[in-house]
Amino acid sequence: QKEVEQDPGPLSVPEGAIVSLNCTYSNSAFQYFMWYRQYSRKGPELLMYTYSSGNKEDGRFTAQVDKSSKYISLFIRDSQPSDSATYLCAMSVGGGFKTIFGAGTRLFVKA
Amino acid sequence: DTAVSQTPKYLVTQMGNDKSIKCEQNLGHDTMYWYKQDSKKFLKIMFSYNNKELIINETVPNRFSPKSPDKAHLNLHINSLELGDSAVYFCASSQDVPNYGYTFGSGTRLTVV
């Protein structure tokens, strides 16, 4: 079993839809949780990070962490065609230099 | 100004050759990394340097050798290239530990033929 599981998709939604992207993990020591967006042939770009449990909002993006269920989510409101990309979750224990990435979910937002 | 820059962007080479990829960051970060992304988009850490000191060395063939001349530069040299080395290699940096994320370069697409 991988430490971080993420459905690779693809996930296809119409413009304006609310998108929900998720990851599960097995290591209860993870405390820092990140979401990256990666456009085709580009490097991953940090979208959001959260520490421990709870929600964090930034514009149309909301990150949610449920440590009791070992489950994290990224919600995208009013999705746009420009949101079409691969979304990678990532997490770390903290205090170390290693981050574990999910496999990424490919998202298509149709105009 | 590009924060993390890698060269070259594309590299096509024959099996058995030796090649290098260079990375530079102008963010003043203390820690730099090499990641490998396979065809399924899975990112896996290879090496990490903190203030020029090697701190992560994952299970990577010893044909791969990183070198950090100073904390703003991290290079990757690959000897005797194999078909299985074909992937995208990303350089990244973080301010000390990466709890708040990395800044990635745009990647080097390596194709071994």
State whether B41 and A95 contact (CB < 8 Å).
no
Instruction: Give the model's pLDDT for residue A97.
Output: 74
Q: Spell out which residues of chain A touch residue B104, defining contact as CB-CB under 8 Å.
A: 43-45
Is the Cα dihedral B80, B24, A91, A10 positive or negative? negative
pLDDT number for residue B39 = 85
> Mean pLDDT, to the nearest integer, of A6-10?
92
Distance from the B113 Cα atom to the nearest Cα atom in chain A, whole angstroms: 20
**Interacting residues of B61 by C-beta distance below 8 A, sequence separation 6+:** none
Contacting residues of B for A95, CB less than 8 Å apart: 97, 99
Q: What is the pLDDT of residue B52?
A: 85
pLDDT band at B109 (very low <50, low <70, confident <90, very high): very high
A23-61 pLDDT per residue, tens: 999 999 999 999 999 999 999 999 999 988 889 999 999
Residue A91 CA to residue B98 CA, distance in Å, equals 10
**CA nearest B55 in A: which residue?**
A97
Kindly list the residues of chain A whose beta carbon comes within 8 Å of any beta carbon in chain B: 8, 32, 34, 36, 38, 41-46, 49, 51, 86, 88, 90, 92, 94-99, 101, 103-104, 106
pLDDT per residue as tens digits for the range B2-45? 799 999 999 999 999 999 999 999 999 999 999 999 888 889 99
pLDDT above 90: percentage of residues in chain B: 78
pLDDT of residue B105: 97
Mean pLDDT across the stretch B76-103? Answer: 92
How high is the pLDDT of residue A95? 75
pLDDT > 80? residue A1: no
Q: How far is A2 from chain B (nearest CA, A)?
A: 12
∠A14-A56-A6 over CA atoms, to 5°?
A: 55
Give the rounded percent of residues in chain B with a pLDDT score beyond 70: 99
Q: For residue B56, what are the β-bridge partners?
A: B48
pLDDT band, very low/low/confident/very high, at A2 (cuts 50, 70, 90): confident
Helices assigned H by DSSP within A1-111? none
Q: What is the pLDDT of residue B59?
A: 79
Distance CA A96, CA B96 (A): 9
Cα A58 to chain centroid distance, Å, stands at: 13
Give the pLDDT band (50/70/90) at residue A10: very high
pLDDT of residue A64: 96
How confident is the model at residue A65, as a pLDDT? 96
Q: Which residues of B touch A8 (CB under 8 A)?
A: 40-41
| CA B63 centroid distance within chain | 14
Residues paired with residue A15 on neighbouring β-strands, in sequence order: none
pLDDT of residue B97: 76
